Structure 1
């Protein structure tokens, strides 16, 4: 039997070493050109490192770098506001460090207040990168470090306040204090980020005592409502009483002023009459008599004045005769 050899009739391929080297060189050059071109997004800048050291910062657009790992580019989003969530998590976040996993969320929001009570505090830290070079070089993991600092600051602030302040009236003051303290730490560590604001979310007591806390808060609200109602009645009644008292005082003062002015006027009139009387007693006396009689007699109806020398007043009786009444004529049939 004859031996069967596979591909016995296949043509032999001879590789030219020169062409092979040129092909490898072209491929190497193509890979280098492709890896040497990069694009920076509009909201970011690129921190370029050469052999691990800082070289430059590139603005958004198309740029070229040395390939094969000589230059390394780190994109940093400086125009985008980022946030860190504590105690809860919003799904779909692009930042892997935006929130902790579900197992750690319960732990990070459980805090002890200054009066040794427990509160469940949720909050959000909003920040943006202000110095990309410091952000890249000063910390190996800047975002996890910022999360740890935020938790430390919040626990410090909550630990300085009572549970009533944390749950009710102290929210705004806590947000302000936490933001100030975190800005101080970030600036001291030169992390390259700027804290925009801190917003507190849900603050609740633990589930075991939540109903008791709700009863206490309800009682406090009823107390405040009663105090406000009493204050409203007080503000309504007291000003009214004060106004009425002021009105009566003003009325009494006006009446007193009127009586004083009348008395002073009468006294001045009497003095003027007295002065005239002293000048001509008979004339003044007669004038006063006539004026007085004029006032008195004008009030008396049906009066007749006679001369003391008249012998009789009978002829004068006909001066006031009654008007005769007309008798109606009898009706005719």
Structure 2
């Protein structure tokens, strides 16, 4: 705009003509329309994408979540309108606390592994955590640096659980309980963050005292194992000997009962015989006494080795071998 003096006005609002500034550019050439169509088609085609079978994808429009799509070919509006984020939702992910597995082997990380127990001892615990994604939207956008967050949570949880336990239980009988409690602690914290993650397993890979005292702890553990072995052997012996003793006791009771019945039967028989004799004696005392005497002598003589000789006999045939019997005082 002219200010009346043939130049630009004081406000600097003179007209700006692109044709004056870029006289060499020609926007009306014969190939311009085709090029524009190609660019538009290519831009629209950039919205096609593939989701793998193990993945899910989140489509965002101007930064806001629009939908979640599963495996297969899909389409979203081209950038910068829509964008896509993917994650593997069927894979079980694994993290390590206190150590790292490398191609060269296992590397220990004492700064993560060493922790204080409830009875004020130091123990080294290597821990692995397995998890999977159950809500991809929460997983992608609610927590920054998911793996680092889970690592920090797992380390904090195992320290808290170990701080409630005695070192003997940690090294021996308490491992399963510690794994379960640690998994619950990790899951509770992740749920409070809305992380969209499910912890599937927590495993104590290696639990041991510091190297300075490891031999002493091994001796204690060995003694405890011996104790448990002796207890098991004693219980096995008990389980074997008690049934045998009960069987023997039952046999003895049965034998005693049989002996009792036999003696009772004998006593009853003798009683009946005595009563019969008594009845006979009362009926004929002299005859009964004579009969009893003869029966008794019959039994005695039948069991005795006796020889009876007439005192008037002076000579006995030698073949009978009786001279020696006479000399020996036999009668």
Cα RMSD of the aligned pairs, angstroms, is 4.1
Aligned to 1:29: 41
Whether the 8 Å contact between 1:84 and 1:126 is mirrored in structure 2 is yes
The answer for the alignment partner of 2:71 in structure 1 is 60
User: Per the alignment, in what secondary structure is the counterpart of residue 84 of structure 1?
Assistant: strand
- State how far apart, in whole Å, the 1-side matches of 2:146 and 2:270 are: 98
Task: Point out where structure 1 has 5 or more consecutive residues left out of the alignment.
Answer: 1-13, 93-101, 307-311, 324-333
CA contact 1:32–1:68 (8 Å) conserved in 2: no
Q: 2:32 aligns with which of 20, 41, 54?
A: 20
User: Any idea what the Cα deviations from partners look like across 1:143-200, whole Å, max 9, x if unmatched?
Assistant: 3222222111111001111222223332121111111222233334332111111000
Note the C-alpha offset of 1:51. 1.7
Deviations 1:116-154 (A, max 9, x none): 222221110111111222222322333322222211111
Runs of 4+ in 1 over 4 A off after TM superposition: 226-240, 251-256, 262-265, 301-306
- Is it true that 1:278 corresponds to 2:290 in the alignment? no
Counterpart of 2:136 in structure 1 is 132
Tell me the equivalent position of 1:257: 260
The reply on whether 1:215 has 2:211 as its aligned counterpart is: no
CA distance in 1, matches of 2:306, 2:177: 94
Is 1:204–2:208 an aligned residue pair?
yes
Q: CA deviation at 1:235?
A: 7.8
TM-score (norm. length: structure 1): 0.70
| SS of residue matched to 2:172 | helix
Q: Within 2, Cα distance between the matches of 1:146 and 1:231?
A: 42
Query: Against the structure 1 CA distance between its residues 70 and 296, is the aligned structure 2 distance closer, same or farther, given a 3 Å change threshold?
Result: same
Distance 1:18 1:148, change over 3 A: farther
Distance in 1, matches of 2:279 and 2:139, equals 108
Distance 1:88 1:219, change over 3 A: closer
More deviation, 254-263/106-115:
254-263
Alignment size in residue pairs: 285
Does residue 89 (structure 1) correspond to residue 100 (structure 2)? The answer is yes
| Shift in alpha-carbon separation, 1:220–1:89, aligned structure 2, 3 A | closer
Match of 1:97 in 2: none
Aligned with 1:50 (options 51, 54, 61): 61
Question: Structure 1 residues 68, 286: closer, same or farther in 2, change over 3 A?
Answer: same
Name the counterpart of 1:184. Answer: 188
Give the match for residue 95 of structure 1.
Answer: none
How far apart are the structure 2 equivalents of 1:215 and 1:206? Answer: 11
Paired residue for 1:169? 173
> Cα distance, 1:45 vs. partner?
1.4
* Deviation per residue, 1:267-321 (Å, 9 max, x gap): 4543343244334434433432332232222224566799xxxxx998xx99xx8
Stretch moving more, 268-277 or 249-258: 249-258
Q: Conserved in 1, the CA contact under 8 Å of 2:97 and 2:128? A: yes
What TM-score, normalized by structure 2, do the two folds share?
0.70
Cα pair 2:143 2:193 within 8 Å, conserved: no
Instruction: Verify the 8 A CA contact 1:110 1:118 in the aligned structure 2.
Output: yes
